[in-house]
A and B are shown apart, each in its own frame.
Chain A
């Protein structure tokens, strides 16, 4: 029995987002979506966080900040890139100061697409992240937790991206039916 999936504490960082995704992240905390039902708390402290939510692409000035927040989080930890800018740079991709998606700086576990990502998709992304969190906890408990090899990780990431994209469209369809 693992408790890491029952109490994921989230830290939210705004890379260079237009605030659209940030508003949706905060919408998850409102009575409408109420993620505290799943034990999710929006903590401002990387040392207490399990899930790192990044919105917006990473730029040259804040890549150090993103790295530092990631390094301050104790294992097991999961990175969720929220919104298309955090996934690959989005419409800011070609800007002179933009490095691209969050995965250019730190390893990303779950990609949540959308502009802006819907609260349902963000919750779905965090819940997907819980599966990764559980795997990492097992690896940590058995002393096998090492940084995953880069190519393998990008494959996983692509799979997850595809999966979360599918889920995103499913969600939207459900919404339309409702």
Chain B
């Protein structure tokens, strides 16, 4: 019980710090890949504090409520996960959080954020099958949906679930909103949708969305960690190293690809889920 409370508190306190630092590293690495020096490591924190100093401009009062719900449920998702809770509950809470962000974007009545919200729905359609297959994969190898059981289980789940692992890495690009699948919201407002989903959010609301994304990123990397955790310290070390490698792989992909059409996002994500995910699960079932 005590360890559960400690891990939840650690997540709530540390996730925005680590997430923000990772975002800062992302921007430095991206800059170096483009031959630039890049911003200071703490730049994402400066941005968020700056946004908190700005005037509140709200198109529609209800959108702040929806964004607060989005933030709250992203934190709750991670809290369930790091408390060792049920993976299915975690996935459904994350979906609920995403739905709140989409509703917030729809409520602002701006064509940019509405098209962004529609694309976000498409992206959810693209990545959800693979996320569910990942949970099913853990159940088939560990016999439990509980994160607590999966982490302390004796075997490293990466070995039987190698296909599911790479499928999950593939949809991480969608979840992190990196090129080539940054359809709904690019990190840079230079696309046809301005900044897509979050075009109409500014000031404190925007700051909340940024911090929520840091929480979400850490939680998603927790999923990657789950593939390597086997209850030993070595499993944990390998897990953290692979999490960092996965993150920088996403940065690498982001810098090397142009945006693709939404058809490519859905087709490729479902194809990956079908080939890597379903075939892997079938093999696990036969064994």
Question: Contacts of A42 on B, CB cut-off 8 Å?
Answer: 190
CA distance A10 to B201 in the complex (A): 16
Question: Are the C-beta atoms of B189 and A34 separated by less than 8 Å?
Answer: no
Q: Which one of B34, B47, B55, B199 lies within 8 Å of A39 (CB-CB)?
A: B47
Is the beta-carbon distance between B54 and A74 smaller than 8 angstroms? yes
For chain B, residues 208 to 262, give those with C-beta under 8 angstroms from any C-beta of chain A.
Answer: none
A47-B57 in contact given A7-B43, A39-B40, A74-B202 (Cβ < 8 Å): yes
Q: How many residues belonging to A are interface residues under a CB distance threshold of 8 Å? A: 26
Whole-angstrom distance between the Cβ of A121 and the nearest chain B Cβ? 20
Instruction: Tell me, rounded to whole Å, the shortest Cβ–Cβ distance linking A149 to chain B.
Output: 21
A65 at the interface (CB under 8 A from B): no
Is B38 part of the binding interface, using a Cβ–Cβ cutoff of 8 Å? Answer: yes
Query: Is A37 within 8 A of B49, CB to CB?
Result: no
On whether the beta carbons of B43 and A39 are closer than 8 Å, the reply is yes
Contact of B36 among A2, A3, A34, A45 (CB under 8 A): A34
Q: Is A67 on the interface with B (CB-CB < 8 A)?
A: no
A-B contact count (CB 8 A): 81
Which secondary structure dominates chain B's binding surface? loop
Note all chain B residues with C-beta closer than 8 A to A34. 31, 36-38
How would residues 17 to 42 of chain B score, 1 for a CB under 8 Å from any chain A CB and 0 otherwise? Answer: 00000000001000100111111100
The distance in angstroms between the C-alpha atoms of A74 and B56, with both chains bound, is 7
**Which residues from B are CB-within-8-Å of A50?**
50, 54
B146 adjacent to chain A (CB < 8 Å): no
A140-B50 Cα distance, complex, nearest whole Å? 13
- Could you tell me the distance between the alpha carbons of A45 and B182 in the complex, rounded to whole angstroms? 17
Cβ of B195 under 8 Å from chain A: yes
Closest 5 pairs between A and B when the two form their complex, measured CB to CB: A3-B49, A74-B55, A47-B202, A75-B55, A31-B35
Chain A contact residues, CB within 8 Å of chain B: 2-4, 6-7, 31, 34, 36-39, 41-45, 47-48, 50, 72, 74-76, 137, 140-141
